[in-house]
Amino acid sequence: MTTPQQATPADGDAAFSALPSLPGERIWGFWSFTSVNVGLAIATWSFLTGGTVALFAGARTAIATGVIGGLIAVVLVSLASCIPSAKYGVEQFTGLRSVFGANGVRALVLVLFPLVAAGWNAILAVMCGRAMVNVINAVAGTGFDPNGGLVITMALLAIVAAWVVLVKGPVSIEWVNKIVAPLLAVMSVAMLALILVQHPWSELAAAPPLQPFGDPGLDWMIAIELGLGTGFSWWTIMGNLARLTTTQRVAFWPNLIGLFLASLVASLAGTFAALVLGNADPTVWMVPLGGALLGVLALLFVGFANLTSMVGQTYSGSLALLRVGGRPARRLPWPVLAALLFLPAAVVVFWPGALYDNYFKFIAWISLVLAPLCGVHFVDFFLLRRRTLCVRGLYEPDGVSRYSYWRGVNPFALVAVGAGALTYYLLLNPLTYESSSLFRWTSASVPAFLVAGVLHYAFTRLVVVPAGKGGYR
C-alpha cells in the first residue's frame, strides 16, 4: 500500500483504518489476536472493577457473577462487533452506516467518543493521582487526603503528560502490548498469590462484602450487572481490531480468552484484595500487600500504566473523530484535537471522588448506552441482513448508497436505542442506583439489549423496508 501524505501522526492511521482491509493486511492469527486481547483486557481498571464488585459481593459470589456477566456480554459484543468487521474488513463505525445512516453514525461518534473518553480519562487520571499521593504518603509519612488538592494536581499533571505523549505520536500503544500489559498480568498473578498465601480460601470465602445492600439476591444481580457493563464497554473498540484478523473464528474465540478470562482473573485479584484489606480503591492495596518497597514500586507502575491507557484510548477516539468529523475535524491542528478530547476529563478531576468512588454508577451509564447499541447492531447484522453487507454501499455518499435513510439518519434505529436505554433506566437508575423489583431477576443490560433489538427489528420490518430505505431485502 502506498502511504498518504500525513499532516499528523493520526492522519495516516485514520485514512488506513477507514479503508476496507485486504487479505494481505489481515495480520492477526489466533494467537496474535489473543495476545492483543489479553493486553487490552488486563488494565488497571480491571483492579478497580474487582474492587467495586467487592462492595456488593463476597469471593464466591464475585467468581460466579463475574463469569455469568462477563461471558454473556463478551459473547454478545464479539458477535455484534467482531464478526461483521472481520467478514468485510471494515471498521466498526463504517459498518454501522448500514444501521444508523452516514449522519446517524457521525452524530453517534461525535457524542459517544468524547463522553466516554472524558469518563475513562478522568477515572484513570484520578487513579494515577491517588497512586502518586499514596507513594508520597508511604515514603514521607504524610497523610494527604485522597480527595485533596494534591490528588487533583497529580491527576491534572497525568492528563498533561498523556497529552504531551499523544501529541508526539502514539508510541505508547506499543508500550502497552510489549511492556505494560505483561507486567500488569504478572502483578495480577502476584497479587492473587500473595492474598491466597496470607489468607486461605476458607477465610477469603467468609469475608463479607464491603457495602452490600443487604439483600443477597439484589447484591448478586448488581454484581452480575457490573460484569455485564464491563463486558459491553468493549463494544466501541473491538470491531476496529477484528478487521485485521484472518478468519471469523480468529475474530471471535480470542475474545473469550482475553476480554473474558484474562479480564476476570485481574478483576478477581482486585475483588480478593478489596475483601481482605477492606477498601475498594486499588491504590490503597499495594503498600499493605507488598510492603513498603514493592508497594511503592507497584504504585509507580500503576501510575505509568494509567498514562499509557489514557493515551491509547484517546488515540482510538481521535481516529474515530477524524474519520467521521469531516473537514472541520481534519482542519484542527493535531495538538488541539488531542487537547479537546482531554479537556472534559481535566474538568471532572476537580471532583476526584465524584466518578472514581462511584465507578459502579459510571459502568451503569456506559451499559445504559452500549447494551442497546449492541442489541441493535446484533439484530441488524444477524437477523435483518442475514450476515450480508455490500462493502461499496458503506462508502458511497448518502442518496447513492443502498444504505441511505432520511437525510443520512435512520431515526428508527436511534429510537430503538433510546427505548433500550429507557428500559435500563427504569430497571436500574444509574444516578441513584435504585432498582425496580424486576431487576433482581432480569438485570438491566440484558433487557436493554433485547428491547432495543426487538424494536429495531419491528421498526425495520414495519416502516423502513416499506419506505424503501436502508437496502434491506
Residues that bind other proteins (CB under 8 A): 1-2, 4-5, 11, 14-15, 18-20, 22-23, 26, 60-61, 63-65, 67-68, 71-72, 75, 83, 86-89, 216-217, 219-220, 245-249, 251-253, 322, 330, 387, 391-392, 395
| Interacting residues of 76 by C-beta distance below 8 A, sequence separation 6+ | 231, 232, 374, 378, 449
11 or 357: whose CB is closer to other proteins?
11
Give min distance, CB of 16 to other proteins, in A: 9
Nearer to other proteins, 126 or 244 (CB): 244
Q: Smallest distance from the beta carbon of 61 to other proteins, in angstroms?
A: 5
Place of cell 464491603: 210
CB 48 within 8 A of CB 123: yes
- Residue 395 CB, shortest distance to other proteins, in Å, is 6
Would you say 197 or 441 has its CB closer to other proteins?
441
By beta-carbon proximity to other proteins, the closer residue of 268 and 455 is 268
* Minimum CB distance to other proteins smaller for 65 or for 230: 65
CA distance 166 to 193: 35
Report, in Å, the least distance between residue 86 CB and other proteins: 5
The residue (of 44 and 271) whose beta carbon lies closer to other proteins is: 271
Q: Which is nearer to other proteins, 71 or 454 (CB)?
A: 71
User: Is the Cβ of residue 241 or residue 305 nearer to other proteins in the bound state?
Assistant: 241
Where residue 470 falls (left for φ over 0; alpha for ψ -120 to 50; beta otherwise) is left
Q: What angle do CA 204, 74, 434 make, to 5 degrees?
A: 65
* Cα 50 to Cα 79: distance, rounded to the nearest angstrom: 25
Handedness of CA 294, 295, 296, 302 (dihedral sign): positive
Report the candidate in 270, 347, 225, 246 with the shortest Cα–Cα distance to residue 25. 246
**Residue 231: closest CA among 100, 49, 387, 60:** 49
CB of 401 to other proteins, least distance (A): 12
DSSP letter at 245 equals B
CB of 385 to other proteins, least distance (A): 13
Helix/strand/coil (H/E/C) assignment for every residue in 409-451: ECHHHHHHHHHHHHHHHHHECCCCCCECCCHHHHCCHHHHHHH
Calculate ∠ Cα 213-232-27, nearest 5°: 150
Q: How far is the CB of 304 from other proteins (least distance, A)?
A: 32
Q: What's the min distance (Å) between Cβ of 97 and other proteins? A: 14
